[in-house]
Structure 1
């Protein structure tokens, strides 16, 4: 807690030279000035004006160091954002130019392999059907006699 104490000047010669000295009682005038201050914003003064008036409270050297630090931080954020943006651009364009055609060719290759497997399965099925003991007659020119009675007539 802060204790406020009124200090009276003791040297009568220096009281005229002091810019802070007043002819009336300092205790009485300070009470009047405090009571006359309104805590609400007046019509001429807005919040921005009050905040901008706080600049006078901070010493110039401190303001300069704060301003320097804020500007350095802003430039660092800007530069790092630009670098990250460039990296993202390179990665996405590389993926589109290299990765997409590669993925499409791999998909086409997988389709071709699946078709080859299907054709092999069809050929193996056809060979099993034509093997001895099959329900279908042998192809013309073969030496096997057809089996009778397996397939009813009319099919």
Structure 2
């Protein structure tokens, strides 16, 4: 169990040695302390040194909480980045290994279909030229007379 005692200062000399007790007026001492502080960085002191000195202002429990939260956030970002990198790797390699050959084969098939259509059109054109009821005039030197009143296709 804890006992609470009231301690009275008996010695005035010990209060004179205290950094908080002052014989001068508080206004005068505050002006002295303000004038003794330089707002600019000295040549020996860097900005890092000043920021590092601020560590003493933050209590250790708060520093620990801030440190844990920052480390958890960094860990979360690292894990998320690694997972996203793996997903991107899987998608790109799958696209290259499956999609590229598929696209090339579809392109080849489209070329083959276009060639077949072109060959069919050429064969139909040759058949129309040779058929007796053709809308095109007979080649020169043949005995056939063209039919009157038939409009060629496309007009």
Under a length normalisation based on structure 1, what TM-score does the superposition of the two structures give? 0.75
Q: In structure 2, what is the Cα distance between the partners aligned to 1:21 and 1:110?
A: 92
1:13 match? 10
> Counterpart of 2:44 in 1: which secondary structure?
coil
> Counterpart of 1:13 in 2: which secondary structure?
coil
2:56 match? 56
Question: What do the CA deviations read for 1:77-107 (whole angstroms, capped 9, x no partner)?
Answer: 0000000000000000000000000000000
1:37 match? 37
Shift of 1:38: 1.3
Q: In structure 1, what is the Cα distance between the partners aligned to 2:144 and 2:23?
A: 141
With 31-40 and 11-20 compared, the bigger mean Cα shift is at 11-20
* Contiguous gaps of at least 5 residues in structure 2: 1-7, 147-155
Q: In structure 1, what is the Cα distance between the partners aligned to 2:39 and 2:125?
A: 97
Question: What do the CA deviations read for 1:19-46 (whole angstroms, capped 9, x no partner)?
Answer: 3355642534443232222111111101
Shift of 1:13: 2.2
Q: In structure 1, what is the Cα distance between the partners aligned to 2:118 and 2:20?
A: 108
* Contiguous gaps of at least 5 residues in structure 1: 1-10, 138-145, 151-155
> Counterpart of 1:39 in 2: which secondary structure?
coil
Moved over 2 A (4+): 11-34
> Counterpart of 2:79 in 1: which secondary structure?
helix
The 1:133/1:14 distance shift into structure 2, 3 A limit, reads same
Q: In structure 2, what is the Cα distance between the partners aligned to 1:98 and 1:23?
A: 84
2:124 match? 124
How many residue pairs match? The answer is 132
Shift of 1:149: 7.2
2:143 match? 147
Q: CA RMSD in A?
A: 2.3
Greater length-normalized contact order (CA 8 Å, ≥ 6 residues apart): 2
CA contact (8 A) 1:41 1:47 kept: yes
1:74 match? 74
